Amino acid sequence: MNGEWIDRLARVVAGGMPRREVLRIFAATTATAVFGSWVRPGRGTAASLGQGKDPGCSGIRTFYRVGCPNPVPKRGFTPSFNGCGPAGGIYGVKVTLNSPLYIADFSPACNGHDIGYSTCNRLKGATDAKFYNDMVAICAKDYSGSAVLDSVGRAQCNINAQLFYKAVSQTEVGDDAYQAGQEEACDCCDECPGGALKCPLECCRPGDTWICGSSGRCCQKCQPGWHSCPYPNQPRCGFGCCMPDLSVCCPGVNPGDLRCCSPKGKGCYKGGCG
């Protein structure tokens, strides 16, 4: 009897398995003895990192740092905004520059820029470009007429927009503000510990005996000498393992089942071995 069955039956003796599971184990063991075919479903075990509880990170969340290889949005974080001006003010004094020279109110564009900088993984260049376009749109709206004063006002407004844009896109002030926003909005999702395999939905345990199954979760490879066969009825892994002397993969009686048959036989026949 295979060691896996012995381990599971030992747990029954210890008093921890329902009657239905006991009957299923004995039924499977009996079927193996009667039909001479043995299939072990692909088994999956993930590293104990709470996978499934954090869909945004299949590794380990740590504090954001510059150069983090995999920034992810911080859970429960909502970007904030404070209009046009440094978030901390200048020398501790709040400075508002919403309406430079009282030409136009740029606060909606500035608020959008603040939100962009504080949105994890949003590119700085894209946020700065949108900031400029939003200011130009404000200028066009506020000075939409064809009179001379509208033309002059629109031209001066566009100059102000260019100055604001250059202040954030071409200076260290903008770079520092962007990094501060990303630090506020992001966590760093470190890869799986110990260099373990990373599947789309979880980290596997360390070692080279793991592959990603059909559901994107961790599954153990077939042990040496055993053969992997498609097994659709195993939704986590999508494969089963057949013993070395039963290397022919045959469909079972029910759709999606797997039968392991001997290559010395006549092949697959009506849900079994020919």
Contact residues for 232 (Cβ-Cβ < 8 A; gap 6+): 238, 255, 256
**Mean pLDDT score across all residues of the chain:** 79
Q: Which residue has the tokens 């001379």?
A: 148
Residues 120/57, Cβ–Cβ less than 8 Å: no
User: From CA 62, how far away is CA 58, in angstroms rounded?
Assistant: 12
What pLDDT was estimated at residue 87?
A: 57
The whole-model pTM stands at: 0.52
Q: Which residue has the tokens 């508002």?
A: 96
What pLDDT was estimated at residue 67?
A: 84
pLDDT at 187 over 60: yes
pLDDT-derived band at 46 (thresholds 50, 70, 90) equals low
User: From CA 23, how far away is CA 73, in angstroms rounded?
Assistant: 47
Percent of the chain with pLDDT over 70: 76
Dihedral of CA atoms 176, 180, 186, 189 in degrees, nearest 10, equals 60
- Note the residue count of the chain: 274
Domains in the chain: boundaries: 1-35, 40-52+199-274, 60-190
Angle between helices 172-185 and 148-169 (to 10 degrees): 70
pLDDT-derived band at 122 (thresholds 50, 70, 90) equals very high
Comparing C-alpha atoms, which of 209, 249, 188 is closest to residue 59? 188
| Mean pLDDT in residue range 38-63 | 69
pLDDT 10s digits, 18-36: 444 433 433 333 333 333 3
C-alpha to C-alpha distances, 56 to 70, 76, 167, 211, nearest whole angstrom: 11, 12, 34, 21
pLDDT 10s digits, 194-208: 678 888 888 888 888
pLDDT 10s digits, 221-260: 999 999 899 999 988 999 999 999 998 999 988 888 999 9
Structure tokens at 75: 């859970």
C-alpha to C-alpha distances, 4 to 1, 25, 151, 219, nearest whole angstrom: 8, 11, 83, 16
User: From CA 13, how far away is CA 250, in angstroms rounded?
Assistant: 35
Comparing C-alpha atoms, which of 268, 236, 234, 265 is closest to residue 253? 268
What pLDDT was estimated at residue 38?
A: 66
pLDDT at 150 over 60: yes
pLDDT 10s digits, 61-95: 889 988 888 899 999 999 989 888 765 544 343 44
DSSP conformation letters of the chain: --HHHHHHHHHHHTT-S-HHHHHHHHHHHHHHHHH---EEEPP--B-SS-TTS-TT-SSEEEE--TT-SSEEEPTT------SSS-TT-BTTB----SSGGGS---HHHHHHHHHHHTSTT--HHHHHHHHHHHHHHHHHHHT-S-SHHHHHHHHHHHHHHHHHHHHHHSSHHHHHHHHHHHHHHEEEEE--GGG--EETTEEBPSSSSEEE-TTSSEEEPPPTT-EEEE-TT-TTT-EEEE-TT--EEEE-SSTT-EEEE-TTS--EETTEE-
User: From CA 220, how far away is CA 213, in angstroms rounded?
Assistant: 9
What pLDDT was estimated at residue 56?
A: 83
pLDDT at 42 over 80: no
